């Protein structure tokens, strides 16, 4: 039985990310949403019920050792949960000028035998040559472990310590460039097994790498009418139509949470949607060649990276989107 306090504790642990909370509690996002709604709408001010309702939605009895009136505690729990559930951290990167380009990378999968590290090095050379100072990584820096049957035979570095060290020692570093990153499902495999947040370890060891949290982050770039970039590492497999998952991700955003640009990782695809709900959507590509696991699906890997330079008008809408994808075509035989 999952208590209300356990839900609140999970929100705190996961920095208010709904996907992380659901995974940690072992329930679906839909179940979590129902529990959140139930807690926020009850119990009344004179009765506290920190245990789930019964299958008939009848309140469970108050614990014998609880005082009968805990209205202040009820309100505290309600307010805390409402704040955690609705509030989204916005990272203000006003130290970058609104008019300068940014780099987008994703799914580097360091530790995999199929990581294309040479292409990643080339990407940072391109960033340096084009005046990019901020690179945003959409998750899965590392390949993780136990993600699917047979992955162990596709990994060159095993365990959190080895993969974190590989990233710290070999992820590209260029003077004046900071990589801001989130963690994806492969990175979080270590957290789910042993509580190790590899994002924090990498952040602590590399001053030029800034951890923004798990799953997604919203960033405001520039201090004079800044534009909003959301980077996201969703879940699920690639759809039949490459653009489908990006469309659904944009459609799922509420009006008050829409960014100017949404960059998606996870799917290992490259794609551009110029004007879906006034959001420019891209899929970020990847730096992992097609693995045997991907070949059995079958699904291709779109190797490459982006440089973005959108223009935002006074209405905070993108009036011009300059985006260039650099494809990492492999040599033919």
pLDDT tens per residue, range 61-82: 444 444 444 556 556 555 555 5
pLDDT reading at 281 higher than 90: yes
Confidence band for 19, pLDDT divided at 50, 70 and 90: low
Cα(34)–Cα(237) distance, rounded to whole angstroms? 25
One-character DSSP codes across 89-146: -EEEETTS-TTS-EEEE----BTBTTB-HHHHHHHHHHHHHTT--EEEE-S--B--SS
Co-location of 58 and 109 in the same domain: no
Q: Which of 46, 60, 56, 55 is nearest to 4 (CA)?
A: 60
Dihedral angle of Cα 182, 186, 187, 193, to the nearest 10 degrees: 140
Does residue 151 surpass a pLDDT of 70?
Answer: yes
Clarify whether residues 147 and 184 are in a common domain.
yes
Verify that 51 and 144 share a domain, yes or no. Answer: no
How many domains in the chain? Answer: 2
Q: What is the pLDDT of residues 22-38, one digit of tens each?
A: 767 777 666 776 677 67
Contact partners, residue 169, CB within 8 Å, separation at least 6: none
Q: What is the mean pLDDT of the chain?
A: 82
Residues 46, 166, single domain; the answer is no
Please check the confidence at residue 121 and state whether its pLDDT lies above 70: yes
Burial of 274 (0-12, 13-18, 19+ CB in 10 A): exposed
Each residue's pLDDT tens digit, 195-224: 999 999 999 999 999 999 999 999 999 877
H or E element that contains 291:
none
pLDDT for 59: 39
What is the rounded CA–CA span in Å between residue 310 and residue 320? 6
Scan for tokens 């108050």, then name that residue. 62
Indicate whether 287 and 304 sit together in one domain: yes
Which of the listed residues 53, 86, 119 is the one where a domain comes to its end?
86
127 and 205 fall within a common domain: yes
Compute the chain's Rg from CA coordinates: 22
* Residue 332 falls inside a structural domain: no
Of the candidates 299, 300, 303, 253, the one whose C-alpha atom is nearest the C-alpha of residue 280 is: 253
Q: Say whether pLDDT at 95 is over 50.
A: yes
> Do both 146 and 165 map to the same domain?
yes
Ramachandran angles phi, psi of 69, nearest 5°: -120, 110
pLDDT exceeds cutoff 80 at 171: yes
Let me know: does 222 contact 26? Beta carbons within 8 Å. Answer: no
Residues, the chain: 333
CA distances 142 to 55, 152, 171, 304, Å, are 41, 14, 10, 17
Asked if residue 163 belongs to a domain, the reply is yes
Regarding whether 284 and 159 lie in a shared domain, the answer is yes
pLDDT for residue 174 is more than 60 = yes
Same domain, 223 and 253: yes
Question: Is 333 domain-assigned?
Answer: no
Dihedral angle over CA of 49, 50, 55, 56, nearest 10: 10
Domain of 75, in residue numbers: 4-86
Mean pLDDT value of segment 166-184: 97
- Least Cα distance to 275 among 247, 253, 252 occurs for 247
Q: Are 88 and 16 in contact (CB under 8 A)?
A: yes
Does some domain include residue 247? Answer: yes
Answer yes or no: do 256 and 116 share one domain: yes
Q: What are the structure tokens assigned to 250, written together?
A: 């944009």
């Amino acid at each position: 039985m999952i208590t209300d306090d356990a839900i609140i504790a999970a929100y705190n642990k996961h920095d208010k990310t709904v996907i992380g909370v659901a995974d940690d509690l072992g329930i679906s996002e839909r179940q979590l949403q129902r529990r959140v709604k139930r807690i926020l709408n009850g119990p009344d001010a004179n009765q506290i019920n920190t245990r789930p309702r019964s299958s008939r939605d009848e309140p469970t009895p108050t614990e014998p050792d609880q005082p009968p009136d805990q209205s202040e505690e009820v309100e505290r729990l309600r307010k805390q949960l409402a704040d955690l559930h609705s509030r989204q951290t916005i990272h203000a990167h006003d130290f970058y000028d609104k008019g300068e380009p940014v780099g987008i990378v994703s799914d580097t999968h360091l530790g995999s035998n199929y990581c294309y590290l040479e292409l990643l090095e080339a990407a940072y050379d391109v960033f340096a040559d084009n005046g990019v100072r901020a690179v945003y990584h959409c998750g899965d820096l590392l390949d993780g472990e136990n993600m699917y049957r047979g992955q162990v035979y596709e990994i060159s570095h095993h365990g959190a310590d080895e993969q974190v060290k590989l990233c710290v020692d070999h992820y590209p570093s260029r003077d004046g460039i900071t990589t801001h990153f989130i963690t994806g499902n492969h990175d979080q495999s270590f957290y789910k097994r042993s509580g190790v947040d590899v994002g924090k370890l990498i952040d602590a060891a590399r001053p030029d790498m800034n951890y923004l949290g798990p799953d997604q982050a919203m960033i405001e770039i520039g201090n004079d009418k800044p534009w909003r970039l959301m980077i996201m590492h969703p879940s699920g497999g690639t759809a039949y139509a490459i653009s489908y998952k990006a469309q659904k991700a944009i459609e799922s955003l509420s009006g008050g949470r829409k960014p100017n640009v949404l960059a998606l990782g996870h799917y290992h695809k490259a794609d551009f949607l110029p004007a879906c709900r006034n959001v420019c959507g891209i899929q970020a590509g990847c730096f992992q060649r097609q693995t045997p696991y991907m070949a059995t699906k079958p699904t291709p890997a779109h190797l490459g990276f982006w440089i973005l330079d959108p223009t935002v008008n006074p209405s905070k809408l993108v009036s011009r989107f300059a985006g260039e994808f650099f494809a990492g075509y492999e040599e033919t035989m």
